[in-house]
Amino acid sequence: MIPDDAEPGVHRRFDPLQGEWILVSPHRDRRPWQGQVDAPAPALPEHDPACHLCPGNLRANGTRNPDYQGVYTFDNDFPALLETTSAEPTASALFRSEPTRGRCRVLCYAPEHDQSLARLPDAALAEVVAAWQRETVDLGHDWRWVQCFENRGASMGCSSAHPHGQIWALDALPTLVRREFEQQRSYWDSHGTPLLLAVAEAEAAAGTRVVIDDRDWLVVVPFWARWPFETLILPRRSCPGFAWLGEDESVSLAAVLGELFRAYDNLFHCAFPYSFGWHGLPGPAQAGTAFWQLHGHCYPPLLRSASIRKFMVGFEMLAESQRDITPEIAAARLRMARGPHWQQRTEEVAR
């Protein structure tokens, strides 16, 4: 842990993936708090008869879920993207639009309503990784971009507490992804190596922002992190996407993810909310894309406790992102939080 008197002064850090600066104010998390205090998430049952995602239940569109035992994927009943559109392109100096098509899928991680990536055993997590691989490759044959992601918790806008993620595929390169595409390509042109592979090697050597150091994967609080306990999940070798992962790497990824999400929950003894997702090239290998590196982003909002979160407002919306605690302190706290899930330890003590 970095002592308070060793904190650096106010400074800015550069994000090479987005080409943006982030203001860092290490002293600011000690200010008095009289803002919003979130209520703790209620305990969940193993099966919720009112849940649209539990096995055997009716979904909102009248379809009945099968009695699934592992992962379960299906087309979203209320998709943000449709495979056909009546929209027409418009173009002028001021007002431009273009039609967009796509497909939205839902991935249930487990049949139990009270499960999560933090509490799934490694074998079940390996099924989730396999589903990401399968879906991105299959959808990547037809769509330009495939985005796997999860919003966990009501504070992140999640409409169902059942453990699940989403997979959106579309015919365009989204704005943030395009920026990463251009930044990674520019670094490759200048240095001849993938940007995020260089980041992984430098972070592993430094160690101060490393949360998990695995043979195949590295999890860090990136130097340029915006959110208090933001993490970046990186392969240790050149790997453009899920299609390029070997069996051993998929198995080790499942174990690493379990370790990471348990650390999140352990940090404040709560179901830690977040938005989490993958950026990787789907489908078969594509010429001229060796600069792209598969990576996962996790953006959790909690700052001081299970009830006090970071808000991206004011200066962040009008000028640039700002964070309070340094990435180095955040990484140290997450390292200390690794281990068995806090609820498992509590249950063992109760027995």
Read off the pLDDT of residues 43-102 as tens digits, 9 standing for 90 and up.
899 999 999 999 999 998 999 999 999 999 999 999 999 999 999 999 899 999 999 999
**Is the pLDDT confidence value at 346 over 80?**
no
pLDDT at 6 over 70: no
Straight-line distance from the first to the last Cα atom of the chain, in angstroms, rounded to the nearest whole number: 33
Q: So what's the pLDDT on residue 2? A: 43
Task: Kindly report the backbone phi and psi dihedral angles of residue 113, in degrees, each rounded to the nearest multiple of 5, phi listed first.
Answer: -65, -25
Q: How far is CA 225 from CA 21, 46, 166, 184, 267, in A?
A: 10, 35, 24, 17, 18
Domain definitions of the chain by residue range: 45-87+96-350
What is the DSSP code string of 219-265?
A: EE--TT--STT-EEEEESS---SGGG--HHHHHHHHHHHHHHHHHHH
Which residues are tagged catalytic? 164
Residue written as tokens 């099966």? 47
State the residue for tokens 């991935």: 107
For residue 81, how far is the Cα from the chain centroid? 21
The answer to whether residue 1 scores a pLDDT higher than 60 is: no
Closest CA to 135 of 124, 148, 116, 150: 148
Mean local confidence (pLDDT), 214-238:
97
**What predicted TM-score, i.e. pTM, was given to this entire model?**
0.93
List pLDDT tens digits, range 171-215.
999 999 999 999 999 999 999 999 999 999 999 999 999 999 999
3-class secondary structure, 343? helix
CA distance 47 to 30: 41
Single-letter amino acid, residue 77: D
CATH code assigned to 45-87+96-350: 3.30.428.10
Higher pLDDT, 281 or 255: 255
pLDDT the model gives residue 153:
84
DSSP states along 135-187: HHHHHHTT-SEEEEEEEESGGGT-S--SSEEEEEEESS--HHHHHHHHHHHHH
Does the CA dihedral 257-262-267-268 come out positive or negative?
positive
